């Protein structure tokens, strides 16, 4: 059965305020008010920005959704989890300060911020799921205690999964620290000694103290948790990473954590993908990256698999090629979508409804 996916087309590089003015029509067309009941505590999941990356969704865009929820009588809160790596979001205090610096105040963004997995990423509930890798996954407590969820995703490429969209935003982004470790456990990098300049940046960011710098950087595979940060921060392309089988495992495990988030209440979640400002890497990367294709639009629906499939199709059409296959040729980035469909999380068939 084809699931409806609502799409609001946008002009290239549209300013956030102009885009915000058009979003209420999308909320209405997609029937978001039918998902959330009066009194519901609604987890609005988004990435609140890693410095100095500027790809995150801006507060005026988020406020449109928060206001729509409040007008319907529900109680939204903006939420994300602590990161594994040593950035500005590794614990709730640093993250809340970063969010405020990015303008995510209740006045500007329409709702308060609650870090979903507590002070240092350990506040979780174990959720039983019928997965192939896991029968139970650890999910950030606020994501499960909320009555409902609205997922706002800025879609980008991603080093590990090729594409980082709604599935990654939920599966990685609402897993507790333990859940993130489970998803990353299969990947291990190594150092190209010819290219390493011993600048030491990778060792500074490594959350597992797995990198020693002597005459070159050296990675201890015993300590490494496979988070990928060293690869992201190295400016000299000196960290080698062979994805392939490990990307498949990462994507499948990510999908199983999505199951953990929505299990037992799928009808209470809705998904909005912003296919704009599409970069090679995700917004966790600590630098600003160029656009890889013209902006597409904003897609919304209640079926995550359908929203993700439509997003990828429209991005490929705008790019004139299979964009994420070109950016990450070793990775089969649509595997996550197929696996989610296989596990019954939604349908890859969709009917596109244009929103004026």
Nearest distance from residue 139's CB to ligand SF4, in Å?
22
Task: Pick the closer one to ligand SF4 by CB: 59 or 226.
Answer: 226
Nearest distance from residue 285's CB to ligand SF4, in Å?
13
Which chain residues interact with ligand SF4 by CB under 6 A? Answer: 189, 191, 196-202, 206-208, 210-211, 213, 217, 219, 224-230, 234, 236, 238-239
For 25, the enclosing helix (H) or strand (E) is helix 16-29
Task: Pick the closer one to ligand SF4 by CB: 12 or 198.
Answer: 198
- Cα–Cα distances in angstroms (integers) from residue 255 to residues 130, 134, 304, in the given order: 12, 11, 11
Burial label, 14 (beta-carbon count in 10 A; 0-12, 13-18, 19+): middle
Task: Evaluate whether 68 touches 61 at the Cβ level (below 8 Å).
Answer: no
Nearest distance from residue 246's CB to ligand SF4, in Å?
11
Nearest distance from residue 54's CB to ligand SF4, in Å?
22
Task: Pick the closer one to ligand SF4 by CB: 229 or 308.
Answer: 229
Cα–Cα nearest to 189, from 225, 215, 138: 225
Task: Evaluate whether 188 touches 224 at the Cβ level (below 8 Å).
Answer: yes
Task: Pick the closer one to ligand SF4 by CB: 103 or 207.
Answer: 207
Q: What is the DSSP string of 140-200?
A: EHHHHHSSEEEEEEE-EEETTTEEESHHHHHHTTTB-HHHHHHHHTT---EE-TTT-----
Look at phi and psi of residue 60 and say left if phi exceeds 0, alpha if psi is from -120 to 50, else beta.
alpha
Nearest distance from residue 113's CB to ligand SF4, in Å?
26
Task: Pick the closer one to ligand SF4 by CB: 205 or 339.
Answer: 205
Nearest distance from residue 76's CB to ligand SF4, in Å?
33
> What is the separation, in whole angstroms, between the first and last Cα of the chain?
25
Task: Pick the closer one to ligand SF4 by CB: 3 or 247.
Answer: 247
């Amino acid at each position: 059965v084809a699931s409806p996916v609502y799409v609001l087309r946008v002009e290239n590089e549209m300013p956030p305020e102009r885009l915000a003015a058009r979003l209420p029509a999308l909320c209405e067309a997609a029937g978001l008010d039918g998902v959330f009941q009066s009194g519901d505590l609604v987890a609005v999941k988004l990435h609140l920005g890693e410095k100095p990356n500027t790809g995150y969704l801006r507060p005026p865009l988020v406020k449109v959704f928060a206001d729509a929820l409040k007008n319907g009588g529900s109680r939204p809160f903006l939420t994300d989890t602590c990161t594994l790596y040593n950035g500005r979001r590794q614990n709730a205090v640093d993250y809340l300060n970063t969010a405020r610096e990015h303008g995510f105040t209740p006045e500007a963004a329409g709702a308060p911020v609650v870090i979903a997995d507590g002070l240092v990423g350990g506040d979780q509930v174990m959720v039983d799921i019928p997965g192939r890798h896991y029968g139970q996954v650890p999910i950030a407590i606020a994501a499960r205690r909320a009555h409902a969820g609205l997922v706002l995703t800025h879609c980008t490429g991603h080093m590990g999964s090729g594409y980082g969209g709604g599935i990654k935003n939920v599966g990685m982004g609402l897993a507790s620290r333990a859940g993130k470790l489970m998803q990353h456990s299969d990947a291990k990098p190594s150092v190209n000694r010819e290219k390493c300049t011993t600048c030491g940046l990778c060792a500074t960011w490594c959350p597992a103290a797995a990198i020693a710098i002597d005459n070159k950087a050296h990675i201890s595979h015993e300590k490494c948790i496979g988070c990928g940060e060293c690869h992201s921060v190295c400016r000299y392309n000196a960290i080698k990473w062979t994805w392939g089988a490990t990307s498949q495992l990462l994507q499948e495990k990510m999908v199983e954590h999505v199951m953990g988030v929505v299990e037992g209440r799928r009808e209470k979640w809705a998904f909005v993908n912003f296919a704009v400002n599409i970069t090679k890497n995700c917004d966790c990367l600590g630098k600003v990256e160029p656009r890889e294709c013209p902006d597409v639009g904003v897609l919304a629906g209640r079926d995550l698999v359908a929203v993700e499939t439509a997003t990828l199709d429209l991005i490929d059409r705008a790019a004139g090629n299979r964009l994420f296959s070109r950016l990450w040729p070793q990775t089969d980035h649509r595997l996550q979508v197929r696996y989610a469909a296989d596990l019954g999380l939604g349908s890859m068939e969709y009917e596109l409804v244009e929103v004026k």
